[in-house]
Chains A and B, each alone.
Chain A
Amino acid sequence: MIGLSQPESELAASDNRAKRTDGPMRVLVIEDDREAAEFLTKGLRESGYIVDHAADGREGLFLALSEPYDVMVVDRMLPGPDGLSIVESVRKSNIATPVLFLSALGEVEDRVAGLKAGGDDYLAKPFAFSELLARLEALLRRTGTPPENTQLKVGDLEMDLLARKVIRQGKRVYLHPREFRLLEYLMRHAGQVVTRTMLLENVWEYHFDPQTNVIDVHISRLRQKIDKPFDKPILHTVRGAGYKLEPAA
């Protein structure tokens, strides 16, 4: 969400997240488990996506190479070419469509292998559908991200990455380094639901389940600094999903 102007981020309403100004998003789901695929396609369609489903690697690869998609959800273990080789072939054909890997293998090395093959994110099964949606959203927004910008702005909240400075309503907000990184991630994904797992993975780079919800504590500390002294909250909790940084309407 770098440099997005305010009206646009307001458009990203939570109910039809996939709908943007340029119409619904196209997603390709390559998943061999019939029931899982059914839930995925149903859920994604209800969330406003146009979904194509491929039940094996061959069909999936064909679709991925011939149709223009905005994002792909690829299971790693498939009959025919497996998920890794599909994505490798897609990348070799210079198709930069973001890919989210799904896999029952949640180990770090599997994750690294998936990212190396050209995947953009990796989600271990089983997952909450809200987690998948949030990650797809993050991937879709990323393709629209302008080149590295050192000035982030969400509503009346501004961040200067070079000066390590945060200003809201013209007032300086002092943050610890980790709080700064947390806010930076939230600002880059403003208007999207960001899950706790996404925060843990991207801000702390941990790939395990902390028994207690430590992320909530960090968020509440951040709120103390960026929300409490001001009249309108900007950092919202999305029930059952995560958090969202969104300027007050």
Chain B
Amino acid sequence: MQRVARIFSSFTFRLAVVYTLIFGLSVGGLFYFVFWATAGFAEQQMEAAIEAEVVTFQESLARAGVQGLIMAVNRRADPNTNRDGVYLLVDRAGAPLAGNMRVWPQRGVTDDIWINFSTSDNRGATPATADVRALQLMDPESGVRLLVGRDVRAARVFRERLRDSLNVGLAITVALGLLGGFIFSRTIMGRVESITRTCRSIMSGDLSKRVPVSRRNDELSRLSVSINSMLDQIERLMRGMQQVSESVAHDLRTPLTRLRSRLENSLRHVDDPTQRSAIEGALEDADSLLATFAALLRVARAEAGTQRNFVDIDLHTLAEEVADLYGPLAEEKGLGFVTRFEQGLFVKGDPNLLAQAFANLIDNAIKYTDNGAVTVVLTRQKGQPTVIVCDTGPGIPDEYKDKVLERLFRLEQSRTSPGSGLGLALVAAVAKSHGLELKLEDNVPGLKVLLRFPLGVVSQDPKLLGAAPAKSLPAPEKDRDGAEAAAA
């Protein structure tokens, strides 16, 4: 049903409908012309026949007088030879002299010499009644009047038949057009849809997918080929970038690590306090560089993250634990720390990455708020589990709301404060790999960050209700200690 509805809303179907409409209009116009020409031609032919007959009667009148005309009319009105002719010859007083009618028609539309009327006064003719179109004329010399007509009912039936069949033809044309459009768009849509599906799975991280190419060398398969070669290039670029960033990170990290070890080693042999503090400062710098590299690598990994490590997570536990870690930090800074966590929200995800994303959001909120409060809410919005982190800090201007999610981007006013500019980038990367909707809004004053889980990842396993561990690591320290001790 949904599929049918999709076809109706598809572009190709709308195209087909418009095409059918235009085609139907032109076919209608053509049919109208055919109708007009055919029906008119039959009428003209009939009138010509009547006029020709009148001419013969006039000739009879001229040759043999009224008697001759009477004979001629009676001959023509003989039902054995003529079936749809209507004839009447009357004298000056109106008394019938010849023909298959008895009374001169009283009613009927008269336009100069042509007259249309209905009559049942039709002796001898097979149809007892007739709709007649006739020519009337009068001989001024003898005073006789002559009426020569034809029953037009046959012509009218023909006309109606013609009209009906043309209408049916038009209806069939439109119906076939719509059906064709439906089939056409279904076919096209199927192929376009497969391209869309592939593109979507590529966007969600599976770079190895390719659009299927049909053997026909048509536009769509050529489009597929183009998309595929574009994908090849993207994949190459991505691989290249990954390799570059990995080798850069490695090549830079290795010497940095050595630098760090050297400093650490030398610290052990130095007693002079000035030298010591210089080395300690250098160590701190090396550490912050290493931390930035580590964060960059983590963002890259989170972004490229696969969903194979996903487990069921109780968001309530996860949020409680992160809040538990950061709450004291807010209180230390003199900020209010308000948490409102709804129970029973389960999702699938990587607990470590999600915890880190929450932690970064709360950490940011605390870092950029000088007074007021940080509010963390876990709730359900439109049925979707949603994490909201609000602060009363300076907020982020609208034009930078997208930018702050990029790597290493920092607002001018926050350049002086500590941080790598990777906190929100990591949140964005985690959101991407988990299919979450990440929204930055104004909290007036402050910033409000929403992380909304897709409905699809919500797990509703009743077994999970209750205490679900949010961590993936198997054993807490205490238990490992015990096991170790028992083994020893």
Confirm or deny: B295 has a beta carbon within 8 angstroms of a beta carbon on chain A. Answer: yes
Among B191-199, B218-226, B326-334, B402-410, the stretch in contact with A: B326-334
Q: Is B264 a contact of A128 with CB atoms below 8 Å?
A: yes
Give CA–CA (A183, B255) in the complex, Å: 37
**Which chain A residues lie closer than 8 Å to B471 at the CB level?**
205
Confirm or deny: A240 has a beta carbon within 8 angstroms of a beta carbon on chain B. Answer: yes
Among B128-136, B460-468, B476-484, the stretch in contact with A: B476-484
Confirm or deny: B401 has a beta carbon within 8 angstroms of a beta carbon on chain A. Answer: no
Pick the contact of B366 from A35, A46, A147, A212 — CB < 8 Å?
A212
Question: Distance (Å) between the CB of A186 and the closest chain B CB?
Answer: 12
Pick the contact of A212 from B267, B363, B485 — CB < 8 Å?
B363
Cβ proximity bits B328-342 to A, threshold 8 Å, 1 near / 0 not: 110010000000000
Q: Is A43 a contact of B261 with CB atoms below 8 Å?
A: yes
Give CA–CA (A182, B262) in the complex, Å: 32
Q: Is B325 a contact of A115 with CB atoms below 8 Å?
A: no
Confirm or deny: A208 has a beta carbon within 8 angstroms of a beta carbon on chain B. Answer: yes
Q: Is A210 a contact of B359 with CB atoms below 8 Å?
A: yes
Q: Is B268 a contact of A104 with CB atoms below 8 Å?
A: no
Give the nearest-CB partner of B294 in chain A: A209
Pick the contact of B473 from A35, A106, A205, A218 — CB < 8 Å?
A205
Interface residues on B, range: 35 or more
Confirm or deny: B488 has a beta carbon within 8 angstroms of a beta carbon on chain A. Answer: yes
Q: Is A46 a contact of B487 with CB atoms below 8 Å?
A: no
Give the nearest-CB partner of A200 in chain B: B325
Pick the contact of A126 from B290, B325, B420, B476 — CB < 8 Å?
B290
**Which chain A residues lie closer than 8 Å to B360 at the CB level?**
211
Question: Distance (Å) between the CB of A53 and the closest chain B CB?
Answer: 15
**Which chain B residues lie closer than 8 Å to A111 at the CB level?**
473
Q: Is B356 a contact of A208 with CB atoms below 8 Å?
A: yes
Confirm or deny: A89 has a beta carbon within 8 angstroms of a beta carbon on chain B. Answer: no
Cβ proximity bits A183-217 to B, threshold 8 Å, 1 near / 0 not: 01100100000000000001111111111101001
Quick one: given A35-B258, A209-B291, are A214 and B488 in contact (CB under 8 Å)?
no
**Which chain A residues lie closer than 8 Å to B262 at the CB level?**
39
Confirm or deny: A112 has a beta carbon within 8 angstroms of a beta carbon on chain B. Answer: yes
Interface members, chain A 31-57 (any B CB < 8 Å): 35-36, 39, 42-43, 46
Using a CB–CB cutoff of 8 Å, the interface residues on chain B facing chain A are 250, 253-254, 256-258, 260-262, 264-265, 267-268, 280, 283, 287, 290-291, 294-295, 298, 301, 309, 321, 324-326, 328-329, 332, 350, 352, 355-356, 359-360, 363-364, 366-367, 418-420, 423, 471-474, 476-478, 480-482, 484-488
Query: Which 10 A-B pairs rank lowest in CB-CB distance, beginning with the nearest?
Result: A126-B257, A202-B477, A39-B261, A208-B356, A129-B264, A148-B482, A217-B328, A205-B471, A108-B352, A145-B485
User: Can you list 27 A-B pairs with a CB-CB distance of less than 8 A?
Assistant: A42-B265, A43-B264, A106-B294, A109-B309, A120-B480, A125-B257, A143-B488, A145-B485, A145-B488, A184-B478, A202-B476, A204-B321, A204-B325, A205-B471, A205-B473, A205-B476, A206-B359, A208-B355, A208-B356, A209-B291, A209-B294, A211-B359, A211-B363, A211-B423, A214-B326, A240-B280, A240-B283
